[in-house]
Amino acid sequence: MPSITATAKISELEAVNSVLANIGQSPVNDLTENSVDIGLAVRHLSSVSRELQMRGWSFNTDTKYTLSPNTDDKIAITDDILAVDLDKTDYPEQDVVIRGSFLYNRYDRSYTFTGDIEADVTWLIAWDNLPPHAQNYIMVTAGIRMSDDTEAGSASHKFGQEDQLHAWNAFKSQEIDTNDANLVRYSRSASLRRRGW
């Protein structure tokens, strides 16, 4: 099966059915159906999505995002935060990592933060909120992994390496376009600020 052109959002059900088709299975109407194959397809989609998002892209990163300590002077890390990074210029005495459910400063070996910090945050975005180019790449890659993990499948239904390469190139192209647009917008904003507009 050829990869779907990333021009529109792909529902999770559509993605699961594409992964199932990749091993020659019939489509399903509901993800709550009691099926081992549905569970495997969902897990593959989730695994590939997490791996992709860990790298940080335009759609799942925030720069200068404010994180605030709680009443115990700890910064709690929610389950949808994958990574936190500080600018060493702004925070020369803080080297932070995520440990358990909190942010940890390796510089002073402490969980204590006495004030807000502005960090670059990488988020784990739920399927329905992912952009089409990410959904498409995740779907194709999950389909290939699903077929690798099972004995079933037919050549007429399989995603191939060419499909994965096409999806990856489309993904990178969209990311480059988005980053270029952001760079132009930020540059214009900075120029206007310098002019006092």
pLDDT in tens, 14-49: 999 999 999 999 999 999 988 999 999 999 999 999
Give me the DSSP letters along 149-189.
Answer: H-S---TTT---HHHHHHHHHHHHHHHHHHHHHHHHHHHHH
pLDDT in tens, 91-124: 999 999 999 999 999 999 999 999 999 999 999 9
> Which tokens go with 89?
């210029």
The model's pTM: 0.81
For residues 50 and 177, the answer to whether their CB atoms sit within 8 Å is no
